[in-house]
Structure 1
Amino acid sequence: MEFDLVVIGAGPGGYTAAIKAAQLGMKTAIIEKEKNLGGTCLNVGCIPSKALLTSSELYHEAMHGFKSHGIKADGLSIDVEAMMKRKDGVIRKMARGIDYLMNKNGIEHVNGTGRILSAGVVEVSQVKSKLVLKTKRILIATGSSVSGLSFLDFDGEKVLSSDHAISLRQAPESMIVVGGGAIGLELGSVWARLGTKVTVVEFLPRIAAIFDEDITQALQKLLQKQGLKFHLGTGVESAEKTKNGINLT
């Protein structure tokens, strides 16, 4: 199979580049190892986190805001399983939209893991076979992966990555979020709204440090009203797994 352009990685950078190339007349293929196109943003990042933020915000408002409007919501409860199904449905719908754009623009979607053999040759490892694509140009859009602590490996149960945290089937009793950036604050907010006791540990002296201090101060006050607690200017040095969870130092 020969192409003008092979794109490795089908996240927002990869699939938009593939579409533009195809629209300019290039015979284009896009390689993606995951089931869905869309990359981290669509499948385990921006989109699912926003879906969960919306659901948890509605629940939190019903629990704490309706009363002031004279609305009684006695016996209110949250079905986390149903909330996750809605989130998964949002992902599927948007993934179908990207599939449509691939087909509309005549882009060859190749499922598998791409490996560059030479300047114009890409090998794709699939479940039961390998495929070789020849191309004039290669665009690398493989994105990034979650980075953990050197002394604490992710296990998906007690030690969670952000990927795990968007797929929990029940609200934990307590949760420590290591890192007060956008991802940590979003997911911490989701679970705090659903009743989890959330503590955020941030090495820098303030949360969301890429933004202006006035903004982050207001954000911290808002999150504290939701129940989040903060330890700023604090680093995690060690961790010990226990029967009931994790002890951090």
Structure 2
Amino acid sequence: MNQYDLIVVGSGPAGRRGAIQAAKLGKKVLVIEQGKRVGGVSVHTGTIPSKTLRETALNLTGWRERGFYGRSYRVKQEISAEDLRRRLIITLNHEVEVLEHQFARNRVQHIRGRASFVGPTTLEISKDDESMLVSGTSILLAVGTKPFRPDYMPFDGRTVVDSDELLDIRELPRSLVVIGAGVIGIEYATIFSALDIQVTVIDPKTTMLDFIDREIVEDFTYQLRDRAMKLNLGQKAEKVERLDNGKVLLTLDNGRKITTEMVLFAAGRMGATDALNLPAAGLEADARGRLKVNPETFQTTVPNIYAAGDVVGFPSLASTSMEQGRVAARVAVGAIAKEPQKYFPYGIYAVPEISTCGLSEEEVKERGIPYECGIARFRETSRGHIMGLDSGLLKMIFSLRTRRLLGVHIIGEGATELVHIGQAVLNLKGTVEYFVENTFNYPTLAEAYKIAGLDAWNRMGEIKAE
């Protein structure tokens, strides 16, 4: 039986970052991946495909130029599913090649197969009709998640699909109903809306994206409704039926009926732990297949077994998963692992983008912190004029007592890039004066930080001399 210092199950963001970190520390590492190619959910059905689909849709539709040329402007008049898939395949191949090269360069061994526990330190790897046993001093579970597929939903991979199956559709529908107003549902809903497809979103909750600052969500909601997206919040799809004419009929709990060409069910995901035989290792997953870990070390209830990434739950971001995997690997091989920075950015790759870091205005109120806000709209910047932007805003929240930045919230073009300036200032405990006294490139959207900083400073006033 082959012996390793660290065995990593899964090659997504957490798995690959953890494996490479351990290898750089001189450890013998094995990665087990059940997919046809390395990369995990992030590369093949999650983060990279959805963001590639978004970028392709915006480019082919000419979405970014419509501020100048009108809503009817399109770069390509007839856009097909094949148009979207062509760029997706190229991107995924590049991602896999980079990852395979990283493994080779760092001497990380990887094997294709399905892993299951035989004991706390031993795994069986099954592939086709063959199997083998491997042993690891430590084991890192980075298996990610899979779409939640309830029995009452008549999935067929064509007219009723989950978020994985959506990437393989052969024709773009004329109408789409998205069940679930979470991050995944909203991202796909807005991408298909940008393709000029009639989109309806259904969710039993009366609100959406509750972890995002309410002012940002209100602006986002206005933009979606302004382009004729239907948001049926506070309503539940009680029955979903495939019709003989190829369409789908949804009956809502208020009696309303909706007919559509396609339904995307995106109401949650499950930890992909069902095939791991967790009891053999002394582990147990929750009802959603997730594993409980120490949030500082990512150690499970079994001392030599660690878990990182989406399988441990919120925030379920590729970015945070990478850092979790790195920290877990360091702890697993006995290296020092520093506590991660307090504030990390959250990005929602909808159309328009949303990104946030730090406290929302609602959280600041709940904590009883006296505060002031500064807001800049992208149309106030010269770069915004050049780009033809008529929407988008940046909001910053400052403490009146310490003048420190408490949170930054952005909606609009480039939000997921711009947020990192705010993230740096947050973690370095910067104040409103940073934005007022520093120079930003002109013309850039980053200049919005200066505008928002001045907006808040004008209300807060100067620091009084002692």
One-letter amino acid of the structure 2 residue matched with residue 118 of structure 1: G
CA distance in 1: counterparts of 2:158 and 2:77, whole angstroms: 27
One-letter amino acid of the structure 2 residue matched with residue 166 of structure 1: L
User: Contact 1:19 / 1:102 at 8 angstroms: preserved in 2?
Assistant: yes
CA distance in 2: counterparts of 1:237 and 1:79, whole angstroms: 32
Is the counterpart of residue 106 in structure 1 residue 117 in structure 2?
no
User: Contact 2:60 / 2:75 at 8 angstroms: preserved in 1?
Assistant: no
Q: 1:245 aligns with which of 244, 247, 254?
A: 247
Show the counterpart of 2:183.
Answer: 182
Show the counterpart of 1:194.
Answer: 195
Is the counterpart of residue 143 in structure 1 residue 144 in structure 2?
yes
CA distance in 1: counterparts of 2:140 and 2:233, whole angstroms: 40
- After superposition, the C-alpha distances for 1:70-116 in whole angstroms (9 at most, x for unaligned) are x9769822243122111121111011111111111111101010011
Show the counterpart of 2:88.
Answer: 87
CA distance in 2: counterparts of 1:209 and 1:196, whole angstroms: 26
CA distance in 2: counterparts of 1:26 and 1:74, whole angstroms: 51
Is the counterpart of residue 119 in structure 1 residue 157 in structure 2?
no
* Structure possessing the higher relative contact order (Cα contacts under 8 Å, 6 or more residues apart): 1
- After superposition, the C-alpha distances for 1:12-69 in whole angstroms (9 at most, x for unaligned) are 1111111111111110000000022222111111111111111111233369717638
CA distance in 2: counterparts of 1:74 and 1:90, whole angstroms: 21
- Report matched runs for 1:11-50 at 5 Å: 11-50=12-51
One-letter amino acid of the structure 2 residue matched with residue 219 of structure 1: F
Report the aligned-residue RMSD. Answer: 2.2
Which stretch shifts more, 164-173 or 59-68? 59-68
One-letter amino acid of the structure 2 residue matched with residue 139 of structure 1: L
Judged with a 3 Å threshold, the aligned counterparts in structure 2 of structure 1 residues 76 and 153 are, in CA distance, closer, same or farther, namely closer
CA distance in 2: counterparts of 1:72 and 1:173, whole angstroms: 18
Show the counterpart of 1:6.
Answer: 7
User: Contact 1:206 / 1:216 at 8 angstroms: preserved in 2?
Assistant: no
TM-score by length of 2: 0.50
Show the counterpart of 1:78.
Answer: 79
CA distance in 2: counterparts of 1:47 and 1:226, whole angstroms: 26
CA distance in 1: counterparts of 2:76 and 2:17, whole angstroms: 46
SS of 1:224's equivalent? Answer: helix
SS of 1:19's equivalent? Answer: helix
SS of 1:77's equivalent? Answer: coil
Show the counterpart of 2:225.
Answer: 224
Is the counterpart of residue 158 in structure 1 residue 183 in structure 2?
no
CA distance in 2: counterparts of 1:61 and 1:73, whole angstroms: 5
Show the counterpart of 1:55.
Answer: 56
CA distance in 1: counterparts of 2:192 and 2:73, whole angstroms: 23
One-letter amino acid of the structure 2 residue matched with residue 47 of structure 1: I
- After superposition, the C-alpha distances for 1:117-154 in whole angstroms (9 at most, x for unaligned) are 11221110012311211221111111111002331142
Percent identical pairs in the alignment equals: 27
Unaligned 5+ residue runs, structure 2? 252-466
One-letter amino acid of the structure 2 residue matched with residue 132 of structure 1: L
Show the counterpart of 1:128.
Answer: 129
Judged with a 3 Å threshold, the aligned counterparts in structure 2 of structure 1 residues 106 and 72 are, in CA distance, closer, same or farther, namely closer
CA distance in 2: counterparts of 1:4 and 1:63, whole angstroms: 49
TM-score by length of 1: 0.91
Shift of the alpha carbon at 1:179?
A: 0.6
SS of 1:2's equivalent? Answer: strand
Unaligned 5+ residue runs, structure 1? none
CA distance in 2: counterparts of 1:200 and 1:138, whole angstroms: 40
One-letter amino acid of the structure 1 residue matched with residue 249 of structure 2: N
Show the counterpart of 1:214.
Answer: 215
Shift of the alpha carbon at 1:210?
A: 2.2
User: Contact 1:171 / 1:194 at 8 angstroms: preserved in 2?
Assistant: no
Alignment size in residue pairs: 248
